[in-house]
């Protein structure tokens, strides 16, 4: 089975995190300091998802960017979430 594109993996993991945390898209937008429409564009893949975007979303969750790029099937076999350690 082929690995889905990184954007698909990222979106699936963000939606999973929103569900786990019981956050709305507006909650995530607030934590990223973005308008809610931007989150909708990202999750609807109507906007290119660049590394800086992924980093900001991961920071809002307190996770590493890499943890949002692990396919869900693999993530379920690993201990998640991968927390970001502040230095």
CATH architecture for the domain at 6-75: Orthogonal Bundle (1.10)
User: At CA 73, angle to CA 68 and CA 74, rounded to 5?
Assistant: 65
| Residue 57 · residue 32 · CB < 8 Å | yes
Neighbours of 64 (CB within 10 A): 17
Q: Which helix (H) or strand (E) holds 76?
A: none
Q: CA triplet 70, 72, 75: central angle to 5 degrees?
A: 65
Can you give the residue ranges of every domain in the chain? 6-75
Q: What is the DSSP string of 14-33?
A: HHHHHHHHT--HHHHHHHHT
Q: Would you state the pLDDT for residue 85? A: 59
User: pLDDT tens, position by position, for the chain (87 residues)?
Assistant: 565 789 999 999 999 999 999 999 999 999 999 999 999 999 998 888 999 999 999 999 999 999 999 998 765 555 455 556 565
Q: Please state the pTM of the whole predicted model.
A: 0.80
């Amino acid at each position: 089975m082929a690995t889905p594109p990184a954007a698909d993996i990222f979106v699936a993991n963000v939606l999973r995190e929103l569900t786990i945390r019981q956050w709305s898209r507006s909650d995530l937008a607030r934590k990223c300091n973005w308008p809610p429409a931007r989150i909708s564009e990202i999750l609807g893949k109507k906007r290119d998802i660049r590394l800086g975007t992924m980093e900001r979303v991961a920071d809002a969750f307190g996770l590493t960017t890499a943890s949002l790029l692990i396919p869900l099937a693999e993530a379920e076999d690993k201990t998640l979430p991968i927390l970001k350690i502040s230095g």
